[in-house]
A and B are shown apart, each in its own frame.
Chain A
C-alpha cells in the first residue's frame, strides 16, 4: 500500500490550460506539503497545510491553488499553465511533531510538462 500517492504521475499539457494534481496519504498525518523540483533540480516548498489550514505559501503565484478537502488529501490546482511551470511536483506528509524533526514522507512525484 502506497503511503503517499500522487496522481497523475505524468502530465503533458498545453500552455494556458488548467490542470490538477491529486495527493492522498493513508498514514493518518495532519500536515501535508507541496514541493516543486525544477529543471535545475532545486526542490522548493510551495505550500504547507496543517489540519486543513494553510500554514505557508512561499511566494507562489496565485495561479496555484491548493485545496485540502480533508486531512488525508491535498490537491494542487494550476490555472493558466505557463512553460515555467514544467517541473516535478512532490507531495509530502507528516505529523506536526515528526515534521519538526525533519521527517517527511514524500510521494513519487508528478512530472508536469507544459508545451
Chain B
C-alpha cells in the first residue's frame, strides 16, 4: 500500500518568514492533495496536483508536484498566524482517483510565532 512521509513533523516559524513542507510517496502519485487541519477541527481542502511538474498557488501557499511524481512540496510565503495548523498530504487509495478514499501522511504541525 502507498505510504506518505511528511517532513518536518513539526515546524516553528517566526511570523513573516517563508517555510516549506515536504511529502514523499513510496509509490508513483496519481494525484496529490494538500489539506489543512486546525486544532480540534476537521480538514479543509487546499489544492490538488496531478501532473508531474504541476504547480498551484492559493493566496500565499504554493504547492508543487515533482516531475517523477513521487514528491510534493508546500511553500508558504510571508507566514501569518492564520497559517498555523496541521498540514496533511493525501493521495488516492487506488490509482483511479480519490473517490474510493484517500490515504494521508501523518501531518506537519506548523506554529507561527509572533
Contact = CB atoms under 8 A, between A and B. Distances in A.
Interface of A: 4, 31, 33, 40-45, 48, 50, 55-56, 58, 90, 92, 94, 96, 99-109
A45 B40 contact: no
Provide the main secondary structure of the chain B interface.
Answer: strand
B45 A109 contact: no
A41 B107 contact: yes
Contact of B104 (A43, A58, A99, A105): A43
Interface string B82-106: 0000101010110011111111101
Contacts, number: 75
A104 B42 CA distance: 11
A90 B101 CA distance: 13
Contact of A103 (B40, B41, B48, B104): B48
Question: Counting chain A CB atoms within 10 Å of each CB, which of B41, B44, B101 scores highest?
Answer: B101
Interface of B: 31-33, 40-45, 48, 86, 88, 90, 92-93, 96-104, 106-107
A103 B97 contact: no
Contacts of A100: 96-99
B101 A48 contact: yes
